[in-house]
Chain A
Amino acid sequence: MYRDNSKIINKLTTKIFIVVFLLCGIGLVAIYSASSNSEVPFFQRAVGRQIIWMVLGLLIVFIMYVIKKEFIFNVSYWLYGAGLILVILPYLFPSSGGAHRWLTMGGFSYQPSEIMKILLVLAIAKYFTTTEFSHSEFKVLVIPLILTIIPTLIVLNQPDLGTAMIYVLTLFPIMIWAKVDLVNIFILVSPIISILTAFNFYTFFIWLIIIIGVLYLKKIKHWHFILIIIINLALGTVSPYLWNNLRPYQQQRIITLFDVKSDPQGAGYQVIQSQVAIGSGGAFGKGFCQGKQTHLKFLPEQKTDFIFSVIGEEWGFVGVSFVLLLYFLLIYLSIKAAYRVREQFNSLVIIGLTGILFFHTVINIAMTVGLMPVTGLPLPFLSYGGSFLTSCFIIIALIFNMNRELEEFDL
Chain B
Amino acid sequence: MTFFPYQISKNIKNITLSIVAIVFLTLLYRFYQIQIKQHNKYSGIAEDNRVRMVSLEAPRGIIYDRSGNILVDNKFQYNVFIIPFEIDSVNKYYRRLGEIIGVSEQTIKKRVQNNWRGRFKPALVAKGVEFSVLSKIEEHKLELPGVIYKLDPYRSYPSPVNLTHVLGYLREIDSKSLKKLKKYGYSYGDLVGWEGVERQYESILRGEQGYQYVQVNARGRVQGELESKENVQPKPGNDLYLTIDLGLQDTCEKSLSGQKGAIVVMNPDNGEILAAVSKPDYSPRIFSGIIDKTVWDSLRYDPERPLYNRISSATYPPASTFKLMASMGALKNNIVDPSWTVNCPGSYKLGRRTFKCWREFGHGKVDMVKSIEQSCDVYYYTLIRKMDLDLWANVVRKFGFGQATNIDLSGENIGNIPDKKYLNKVYGENGWTEGYKLNIVIGQGEVLVTPIQMVKYISAFATDGKLVHPHVGLKYFDNEKFRTFTTEEDSIEAFSPPTWELMNHALHEVVNDPAGTANLANARSVEVYGKTGTAQNPHGENHAWFVGYAEDGESKIALAIILENGGSGGHDAAPVAGKIFNYYVDNFWSHNQQIGQK
Closest to B215 in A: A276
Question: Is there an interface contact between B27 and A362, defined as CB atoms closer than 8 Å?
Answer: yes
Measured between alpha carbons, how far is A358 from B226 in the docked complex, in Å?
A: 33
Per-residue 0/1 for B42-57: is the Cβ within 8 Å of any A Cβ (1 yes, 0 no)? 1101110011010100
CB-defined contacts of A247 to chain B, threshold 8 Å: 203
CB-defined contacts of B32 to chain A, threshold 8 Å: 317
Closest to A173 in B: B16
B591: Cβ under 8 A from any A Cβ: no
Question: Is there an interface contact between A324 and B230, defined as CB atoms closer than 8 Å?
Answer: no
B425: Cβ under 8 A from any A Cβ: no
CB-defined contacts of B17 to chain A, threshold 8 Å: 332, 335
Report the interface size for chain B: residues with CB under 8 A from the other chain. 56
CB-defined contacts of B42 to chain A, threshold 8 Å: 275-276, 278-280
Measured between alpha carbons, how far is A271 from B34 in the docked complex, in Å?
A: 13
A384: Cβ under 8 A from any B Cβ: no
CB-defined contacts of B38 to chain A, threshold 8 Å: 279
CB-defined contacts of B427 to chain A, threshold 8 Å: none
CB-defined contacts of A262 to chain B, threshold 8 Å: 182-183
A343: Cβ under 8 A from any B Cβ: yes
Q: Which of B5-13, B147-155, B303-311, B527-535 contacts its partner?
A: B5-13
Q: Which of A140-148, A214-222, A249-257 contacts its partner?
A: A249-257
Q: Which of A32-40, A226-234, A363-371 contacts its partner?
A: A363-371
Measured between alpha carbons, how far is A365 from B27 in the docked complex, in Å?
A: 8
Question: Is there an interface contact between A266 and B120, defined as CB atoms closer than 8 Å?
Answer: yes
Question: Is there an interface contact between B8 and A281, defined as CB atoms closer than 8 Å?
Answer: no
Contact residues of B between 1 and 46, Cβ < 8 Å to A: 1, 3-8, 12-13, 16-17, 20-21, 23-24, 27-28, 30-32, 34-36, 38-39, 41-43, 45-46
A77: Cβ under 8 A from any B Cβ: no
Question: Is there an interface contact between B31 and A321, defined as CB atoms closer than 8 Å?
Answer: yes
CB-defined contacts of A293 to chain B, threshold 8 Å: 46
Asked if A312 meets B31 with Cβ closer than 8 Å, knowing A276-B45, A279-B42, A327-B24, the reply is yes
Question: Is there an interface contact between B20 and A331, defined as CB atoms closer than 8 Å?
Answer: yes
**A contact patch SS:** helix
CB-defined contacts of A278 to chain B, threshold 8 Å: 31, 34-35, 42
A136 to chain B, nearest CB (A): 14
Question: Is there an interface contact between B35 and A343, defined as CB atoms closer than 8 Å?
Answer: no
A119 to chain B, nearest CB (A): 18
Contact residues of A between 91 and 149, Cβ < 8 Å to B: 98
Asked if A269 meets B53 with Cβ closer than 8 Å, knowing A253-B183, A335-B20, the reply is yes
Question: Is there an interface contact between B46 and A279, defined as CB atoms closer than 8 Å?
Answer: yes
A353: Cβ under 8 A from any B Cβ: no
B540: Cβ under 8 A from any A Cβ: no
Give the bracket for the number of chain A residues in contact with chain B. Answer: 35 or more
Which of B7, B42, B182, B211 is the most central at the interface, judged by chain A CB atoms within 10 Å of its CB? B42
Measured between alpha carbons, how far is A332 from B39 in the docked complex, in Å?
A: 31
A240 to chain B, nearest CB (A): 13
CB-defined contacts of A335 to chain B, threshold 8 Å: 13, 16-17, 20
Contact residues of A between 352 and 386, Cβ < 8 Å to B: 358, 362, 365-366, 369-371
Known: A74-B1, A265-B53, A332-B20. 4 other contacts (CB 8 A): A98-B183, A269-B53, A276-B45, A343-B6
Show 12 residue pairs from A and B whose CB-CB distance is below 8 angstroms, ordered by the A residue. A70-B1, A179-B8, A252-B203, A262-B182, A265-B55, A275-B34, A276-B51, A283-B39, A332-B20, A335-B13, A339-B13, A366-B27
Binding site for A on B (CB under 8 A): 1, 3-8, 12-13, 16-17, 20-21, 23-24, 27-28, 30-32, 34-36, 38-39, 41-43, 45-47, 50-51, 53, 55, 118, 120-121, 179, 182-185, 187, 203-204, 209, 211, 213, 226, 228-230, 232, 238, 478
Binding site for B on A (CB under 8 A): 70, 73-74, 98, 173, 176-177, 179, 247-249, 252-253, 256, 262-266, 268-269, 271-273, 275-283, 292-293, 296, 298, 300, 312, 316-317, 320-321, 324, 327-328, 331-332, 335, 338-339, 341-345, 347, 351, 358, 362, 365-366, 369-371
